[in-house]
Amino acid sequence: MKEENRDTTHFGYKTIESNQKESLVADVFHSVAAKYDIMNDFMSFGIHRLWKRQTIACSGVRKGHRVLDLAGGTGDLTAKFSQLVGETGQVILGDINDSMLKVGRDKLRDLGLVNNIEYVQMNAQALPFPDNSIDVITIAFGLRNVTDKDEALRSMYRVLKPGGRLLVLEFSKTDNEALSKLYDFYSFNILPTMGKLVANDSESYRYLAESIRMHPDQDTLKNMMENAGFEQASYQNFTGGIVALHRGFKY
């Protein structure tokens, strides 16, 4: 048996005890929730919308599907899925953080999307659904915040229906040296300053930059998905590999 207090994990570049990570991550997202959407557009120059578009194009979501937008935060993907699954389908916006869920719920209500969306507070490591009950799961910019990623992937595999698929959109590793230098400069110098100016919170944005660097690269994540049981795992790089979309199926 693991001894809890010897079990460590990363929080950005810091090594901390595993049982601390959840509450530290929670603090970050409680703190950024209100300004999350504005900062997202601002920091990525709006490019996150294109990454999300491509995620939707690869999702295979159809009318009547039951979709889980995990770590869905303010619900960008949920909004699109809600329109695609129609009145016979269902989208569950799942997040561990109630501040993010609340911002998401308000935003989607304002967009008039009310009929087929459920908001559920949940931990990706222990999904509150029966086996084989979901058609498509997406987790966008969420997996790197999860303490035990392997356990979370196994949990996602368990609840997916046979024939279902998982899409992981996440920051990854670019192998272009010039781009990588530029990106490092941007992440560690410009980003925290912007975080300070716009959201008055440079620490959270420093965590963002550090957590991105600690996240597994493309092939490691693909292996992790395969180890969790996913088949035909593959990925495509966006923006030179700064972001990657992984896809895996359960048969």
Partner 1 sequence: MWISVLTAVTEQIVNRLITLEPSLRQDLRDAEHRVLAVTLTDLNLSCALHYNGDHCFVYGNYLDSADCHITTALDTVSELKDPSQLTRLIRANKLDLQGDIHLAQAYSKAFSNLKIDWAEHVSRYLGDAGAQHLVNTIGQGKSRAQKHCETFEDIFTQLCQDELNVTVHPLELEQFKSQTRALSQHLSALEQRINALD
Ligand X SMILES: C[S@@+](CC[C@H](N)C(=O)[O-])C[C@H]1O[C@@H](n2cnc3c(N)ncnc32)[C@H](O)[C@@H]1O
Q: Which residues bind ligand X (CB under 6 A)?
A: 25, 29, 71-74, 76, 95-97, 100, 123-125, 140-142, 145-146
Please choose which of ligand X, partner 1, none residue 58 contacts, taking the beta carbon within 5 to 8 angstroms, the exact cut-off set by kind.
Answer: partner 1
Question: Minimum distance from CB of 53 to partner 1 (Å)?
Answer: 5
Q: Which lies closer to partner 1 via its Cβ, residue 63 or residue 181?
A: 63
Q: Which of 59, 74, 80 is closest to 160 using CA atoms?
A: 59
Q: How far is CA 150 from the centre of its chain?
A: 14
For position 63 contacting partner 1 by CB under 8 A, the verdict is: yes
238-241: which pairs have CB atoms within 8 A and are 24 or more residues apart?
238/50, 238/51, 238/54, 239/47, 239/51, 239/174, 240/174, 240/176, 240/179, 241/172, 241/173, 241/174, 241/175, 241/176
* Least spacing, CB of residue 166 vs partner 1, in Å: 15
Closest residue to ligand X, Cβ-based?
73
* Closer by beta carbon to ligand X, 12 or else 72: 72
Q: Would you count residue 111 as binding partner 1 (CB under 8 A)?
A: no
Q: Does 249 bind partner 1 (CB under 8 A)?
A: no
Least Å from the CB of residue 47 to partner 1: 8
Nearest to 149 by CA among 59, 204, 94, 216: 216
CA distance 147 to 163: 27
Residue 181 in the binding site for partner 1 (CB under 8 A) = no
Binding-site member from 38, 41, 53, 118 for partner 1 (CB under 8 A): 53
Q: Tell me which stretch binds partner 1 (CB under 8 A): 81-89, 170-178, 191-199, 211-219.
A: 81-89
Give the interface with partner 1 as residue ranges (CB under 8 A): 47, 49-50, 53-54, 56-58, 60, 62-63, 80, 83-84, 86, 236, 238-239
